[in-house]
Amino acid sequence: MLTFFKKIFVWWNQDTLGTRIKTILFGKFVGKDSFGNKYYESKNGKRWVIYNGEVDASKIPVEWYSWIHFTHNKIEKNHDLQKYNWQKTHQENLTGTDRAYYPNKNNNAIKKKYKTWKS
């Protein structure tokens, strides 16, 4: 019962009931990325994404980001864009999580470059 109310009212937990109805009636499935996000387009050119899991705009890889923002790219012609072996995989924004980067993460004390003359 709780998941039913979440689908109706809570937009940050995937798609709501209104988005689901709009997708069924007017959406044409365009493709799916490696994270499981699904991309749709309507007849009049509007584009949207249904996220796999929690809604976070940083989960969109760069090739789909250019598609959803109407930037011409290879994704328009070929949705299976191959990456080179030197390219890193896309990561979502990790700010505010335990996996976030900050300097001296493993070192609690900051090492000073100088010593004070008073001890």
- Which tens digit of pLDDT belongs to each residue from 72-119? 655 555 555 666 788 777 777 888 888 887 776 666 555 666 677 775
Alpha-carbon span 114 to 119, nearest angstrom: 13
Q: Each residue of 57-67: pLDDT tens digit?
A: 888 887 788 88
Under a CB-based contact definition with an 8 Å cutoff, are residues 76 and 104 in contact?
no
Q: What is the pTM of this model?
A: 0.61
Please name the residue ranges forming H helices in 1-119: 2-9, 17-26, 62-68
**Ranges of each domain in the chain:** 2-76
| Burial class of residue 86 in the structure, from the number of CB atoms within 10 Å of its CB (0-12 exposed, 13-18 middle, 19+ buried) | exposed
